[in-house]
Amino acid sequence: MGFKIGLLGLGTVGTGTAEILLTPAGRHPLLTEIEIAKVGVRSPDKPRDVKLSPGLMTSDLESIVTDPEIDIIVELIGGLEPARSLILKAINRGKHIVTANKAVISRYGDEIYTAANQAGVYVLLEASVAGGIPVIQPLKQSLGVNRIHSVIGIVNGTTNYILTRMSAEGVDFADVLAEAQELGYAEADPTADVDGLDAADKIAILASLAFGGRIKLSEVNCEGIRQVSAADIAYAENLGFVIKLLAIAERHQSNNLQVRVHPTLVPKTHPLASINGVNNAIFIEGEPLGQVMFFGPGAGKGATASAVVSDILNLVGILKNSGNNGQIHPLYSCSHQDYCTVAPIAELVTRFYCRFICQDSPGVIGQLGTGFGKHDVSLESVVQIGFKNNCAEVVVVTHDVLEGKVRAALKEIGSQDAIADIPSILRVL
């Protein structure tokens, strides 16, 4: 056996990873040169679904990352600590890292990659974004010659499942969430998924690769799907859109880089509009390639383990070829030194969909038009779509406009007596 792995975590993805490594027949021949040397778990005596010798199990994770025999640490425990400390300790001992931990990388990528570059080791993270879909290595390698204009992803399966069901059944967010939790599709604490935080971690990582600099997570504008109602989904449908939680990183003609997560009206003709259920997809546009879309399972045991083991395989391939000589392969490393400048959301130029609840009296639609016009906001359509509690419900779609101008207009319009409420303000792709 050539290469020794220390596996931290034997949950769903850890089990899938071990299963692939223990059944190499029919896969890449290099897998036969990889040995699981130790497995770090909370309860070493717990019965497991995968056949590993009990002698490999330990609850002492530090002993794995400091073991001089181990070449590669596969971190699958998730969360921030002790994952961050264990990764750093392993790097300082000259070990290479494979991780699925988007939360650690999006927050501590600077510290981790600086340490890795100093130690001459790799940190590979294909599984951290969109589970089994290859997108990290493609961005680094196959798409590396392109000037990337935009990366637009449906990178959270839970929210895509909820929005797909809301759309198919005409039901509200809270009802689908409760059922998804009962079925185990959504976490008991769904915050990271439904408030967009998981997608924000992922787009920060993708943006960093696409635009060649580190991204401060605090600069990613992040809005979740709690505010999306069955009514908006129905109105969007009538206007020719579906609503998706998109994670977007794009460089505008003004050279502004925008990195954001929010529910978005997607034209039904756009390839991302047809991505349903728990599936993920990442739509990338660059020059000279044009458009390309990666689609597939964004989570799950086998899919995520496939990405983890592909990173292990890549590492073994590099190490076998070059030896562990401290020379870093530029197509597998992270060489960013600087942070990207991310523009504030007020500088975004996009179309908006706004829903108003207002008095059904003469001149109200005129008032809306005047309110927008005062702030230089040009309207594409204004439709009175119905009545709610004796009030008219009006939907406005704007032309492309600076977000700051729309916000200023809405603030002023919202303070008028004729406007009872503005329940939805959504961006349009």
Tokens encoding 168: 């198919």
Listed ranges 11-19, 151-159, 170-178, 326-334: which one lies at the site for ligand HSE (CB under 6 A):
151-159
Does position 298 interact with ligand HSE (CB under 6 A)? The reply is yes
> Across the strands, what pairs with 421?
357
Q: Looking at beta carbons only, is 158 or 310 nearer to ligand HSE?
A: 158
CA 156, 22, 93: angle at the middle one, nearest 5? 75
Binder among 17, 99, 117, 158 for ligand HSE (CB under 6 A): 158
**Residue 137 near residue 314, CB atoms below 8 Å:** yes
Residue 324 Cβ vs ligand HSE, minimum distance, rounded to whole Å: 31
Which of 251, 258, 236 minimizes the C-alpha distance to 285? Answer: 251
Is residue 283 exposed (0-12), middle (13-18) or buried (19+ Cβ within 10 Å)?
A: buried
Q: In what order do the strands lie in the sheet with 96-99?
A: 57-58, 34-40, 3-8, 72-75, 96-99, 123-124
Determine if 198 is a binding residue for ligand HSE (CB under 6 A). yes
Which of 16, 226, 291 lies closest to 132, judged by CA?
16
Should residue 263 be labelled a site residue for ligand HSE when binding is judged by CB under 6 A?
no
Q: By CB under 6 A, how many residues form the interface with ligand HSE?
A: 7
Minimum distance, C-beta of residue 162 to ligand HSE, in the bound complex (Å): 10
Span from 154-162, 235-243, 314-322, 400-408 in contact with ligand HSE (CB under 6 A): 154-162
Q: Which of 193, 250, 393, 403 binds ligand HSE (CB under 6 A)?
A: 193
| 288 contacts: CB under 8 Å, gap ≥ 6 | 146
d(CA 78, CA 99): 9
Among 6, 40, 109, 157, binds ligand HSE (CB under 6 A): 157
Q: Choose the binding region for ligand HSE from 23-31, 50-58, 155-163, 400-408 (rule: CB under 6 A).
A: 155-163
Of 198 and 403, nearer to ligand HSE (C-beta) is 198
Q: Candidates 275, 299, 312, 397: give the one binding ligand HSE (CB under 6 A).
A: 299
Instruction: Select 156 or 258, whichever has its Cβ closest to ligand HSE.
Output: 156
Could you please report the per-residue DSSP string of 293-336?
Answer: EEEEE-SSHHHHHHHHHHHHHHHHHHHHHH-S-SPPPTTTS---
**Site residues, ligand HSE (CB under 6 A):** 156-158, 193, 198, 298-299
